[in-house]
Amino acid sequence: MRVIVTGGAGYIGSHVVRALQRAGHAPIVLDDLSTGHLALVERNGVELIQGDVGSRDVLEQAFTSHRPEAVIHLAGLALVGESVDDPAPYFAVNTVAGYTLLEAMRAHGVDRIVFSSTCAVYGVPEELPITERSPLEPVSPYGASKLAFERMLFAYARAYGLKALSLRFFNVAGADPDGDLGEMRHEETHLLPLLLRAARRRELFELFGTNYRTRDGSAERDYVHVVDIARAFVHALERLEVIDPLPFGGALNLGTGRGTTVREMIAATERELGCEIAVKTVPRRAGDPPALVADPSLSRKVLGFGARHDVATMIRSANRFLEAEIDRGADVFKSYLPGGSMPNPNGGSSRVRFGEAVVSAGILDEEVVAHALKIQRDRDGIGESHKLLGLILLEMGAISNDQLIGILKRINVR
């Protein structure tokens, strides 16, 4: 399908674009580059329509020129604290601009959309894990603006036959295994990048709140790998061909069903990087729920989706991307440079392993790769070799020759 991806120059958007490409679709990015990055678009090798998703003229040009069959809508503002201090832009971008997009879709006969929503629509949940039937009581303008657009989608679906799915994802982390897509922000607010920066700079990491009713007193979140999130968007887009989202409300949770506290994430980062992170405890931030953990069973049923990556993989891939960007001289990471250097968790090489790449690409399950690795160890008595593991998988009939060559090219093995 030809798919317009709004916000496709951003963190999640660039991964969704790559997942669409891997699945054989033809994405076109629509992004104003206010928070997105041209480099991420160029690394995916796709066309960019630079403009505001809330502009009728931009949308008219995009839909007329490219005649898309579907839209994946990720463009929006996403800082909870900022939305409390200045809510107007959040409703303008996340809600009003979304209305303009829907009207452009109607005018051009585009009837499929997958929307990036958020667990912030649930507010402070009374029970865990959170299901799609949990009360929708956002406590921030950010969550309220996303919920308003969700309700707009549902109304359009009932009245106009729009096929729409809202994906409410939880805490997204990690980076593409190739090391060329990841989180790039001048003002970072997400936990894992802040931990990586604190480790690299040998500076204090601020832990907000230590008296929550969780197992260690720190806030608990459901962390899901960005590659899994991107894969879910592709599944959702393709499933819209055969499902009717209206009976279950048109929204699905994307998470792992497992919570990780901030203290546990600190400890996991220390293990993966081989260093200690100094922690300074500070008071809670207003509006931060004690715990947000998804019940992903409905998304497994509807999409056949299940998260494949754990927290350790998120940390390794995020660090690999950070190391690669610093090597590339990225301006956005100059603030990471002062202080001691951070050890590489991959023993000196930031190159992704073949097995991890083939799983992340959605070609094979981890069990198949593990079996091939056992054959390799039994046969040759060595650790993972990119080319050798690929040849074993080829011999097993698990991958095609084209897939082998494609993965080797993506991880730059010569």
C-beta neighbour count of 161 within 10 angstroms: 8
List, for residues 147-194, the tens digit of each pLDDT value: 999 999 999 999 999 999 999 999 999 999 999 999 998 788 899 999
In this prediction, residue 365 carries a pLDDT of 77
Single out the residue of 362, 250, 318 nearest to residue 23, CA to CA. Answer: 362
Top-confidence residue, 104 or 404: 104
- CA 94 remoteness from chain centre: 18
In this prediction, residue 154 carries a pLDDT of 97
Residue pair 313/225 in contact (Cβ under 8 Å)? The answer is yes
Q: What is the mean pLDDT of residues 194-204?
A: 92
Residue 337 reports pLDDT greater than 70: no
In this prediction, residue 414 carries a pLDDT of 33
Question: Rounded to an integer, what distance in angstroms lies between the CA atom of residue 254 and that of residue 145?
Answer: 19
Number of residues in the chain: 414
- Which of 72-76, 98-102, 405-409 has the least mean pLDDT? 405-409
Q: Report residue 276 as tokens.
A: 């200690």
Which positions ≥6 away from 132 have C-beta within 8 Å? Answer: 168, 248, 249, 251, 252, 253, 298
- Which of 17-31, 248-262, 293-307, 341-355 has the least mean pLDDT? 341-355
**Ranges of each domain in the chain:** 2-175+224-254, 353-414
List, for residues 20-38, the tens digit of each pLDDT value: 999 999 999 999 999 999 9
Backbone angles phi, psi at 54, to 5 degrees: -90, 5
In this prediction, residue 117 carries a pLDDT of 98
What one-character-per-residue DSSP string does 220-275 give?
A: EE-EEEHHHHHHHHHHHHHHTTT---GGGTTEEEES-S--EEHHHHHHHHHHHHTS
List, for residues 37-59, the tens digit of each pLDDT value: 999 999 999 999 999 999 999 99
Backbone angles phi, psi at 134, to 5 degrees: -65, 150
Single out the residue of 262, 265, 299 nearest to residue 284, CA to CA. Answer: 262
Residue 340 reports pLDDT greater than 70: no
142 is catalytic: yes
DSSP conformational letter for 45: T
List, for residues 262-298, the tens digit of each pLDDT value: 999 999 999 999 999 999 999 988 778 899 999 999 9
In this prediction, residue 342 carries a pLDDT of 43
61-87 burial string, b = 16+ CB within 10 Å, else e? ebbeebebbbbbbbbbbbbbebbeeee
Helix (H) or strand (E) holding 58: helix 56-66
DSSP conformational letter for 79: -
- Which of 87-91, 261-265, 348-352, 367-371 has the least mean pLDDT? 348-352
Residue pair 363/355 in contact (Cβ under 8 Å)? The answer is no
| Annotated active-site residue in 11, 122, 142, 212 | 142
List, for residues 379-414, the tens digit of each pLDDT value: 655 445 656 788 888 888 888 887 887 777 655 443
Determine the CATH number of domain 2-175+224-254.
Answer: 3.40.50.720
Work out the mean pLDDT of the chain and round it to a whole number.
90
Residue 227 reports pLDDT greater than 50: yes
In this prediction, residue 356 carries a pLDDT of 72
pTM: 0.82
